Amino acid sequence: MKAKLQEEIQLPNGVTATNTQGIITMKGPKGEATRSIKDPAVNIKLDNNTITLSTAKGTKRQKRIINTYVAHLQNMIHGVQQPYTYLLKICSGHFPMNVSISGTQLTIKNFLGEKSPRTLTLKKNVSIKIEGDLIAIESPNKELAGQMASDIELLTAKANRDLRVFQDGIYMIEKAGKKIFEP
């Protein structure tokens, strides 16, 4: 059964939103987040402090799409107020690993005694800090922060090794403020 569907999101004080041809940009006190929200069946309307997502003849599919967009917009609002933080731990048992940042490159030297360093290009709008054996990743965009943390973790992936013995690597211990492992 087709019905009119409408969801409203109230913007808190200090957060502004703009819509330019389906690209929503949120600006807040801690940063800026951008996301493409384009669907021909969903209308996006920005008023003073309200974002309205609606469709005239919505089905279950449009309801799912609208609810997904609402979740994305709420994540953006949260991110520009309080950036998402991922925490990774550097674990080296066999060989002392050296992790450093130079410009837009993250470099891991001497991972499992390898002679050539492993490098990763950092994403824009993501700040990374290395403090001892912890790496903190912070961004107002939840997807960017999570992808960067995953890329760093995958940079130290091991093949053809017994994982019970070779436990060296960089592992996530906190995802967006939620602990997944106690160090």
**What's the pLDDT band for 162 if we cut at 50, 70, 90?**
low
Describe the strand order of the beta sheet including 23-28 as a list of residue ranges: 16-20, 23-28, 31-36
* pLDDT at 95 exceeding the cut of 90: no
CATH hierarchy code of domain 3-81:
3.90.930.12
Q: Where are the domains of the chain?
A: 3-81, 84-179
Q: In degrees, to the nearest 5, what angle opens at C-alpha 105 toward C-alphas 155 and 172?
A: 40
Q: Is 101 helix (H, G, I), strand (E, B) or coil?
A: strand
- pLDDT value at residue 161: 67
Q: Can you give the pTM of this predicted structure?
A: 0.85
Beta bridge partner(s), residue 95: none
- pLDDT value at residue 157: 78
Average pLDDT in the 35-39 region?
90
Q: Write out the H or E segment, with its range, that includes residue 58.
A: strand 50-58
* pLDDT at 167 exceeding the cut of 70: no
Amino acid at 75: N
Please, what CATH class does the domain formed by 84-179 belong to? alpha beta
Q: How many whole angstroms separate alpha carbon 80 and alpha carbon 33? A: 7
Fold match, 3-81 / 84-179: yes
Q: Is the dihedral of CA 159, 163, 165, 167 positive or negative?
A: positive
* pLDDT at 2 exceeding the cut of 70: yes
CA dihedral 58, 64, 68, 71 (to 10 degrees): 90
Q: Write out the H or E segment, with its range, that includes residue 11.
A: none
> What percent of the chain has pLDDT above 90?
56
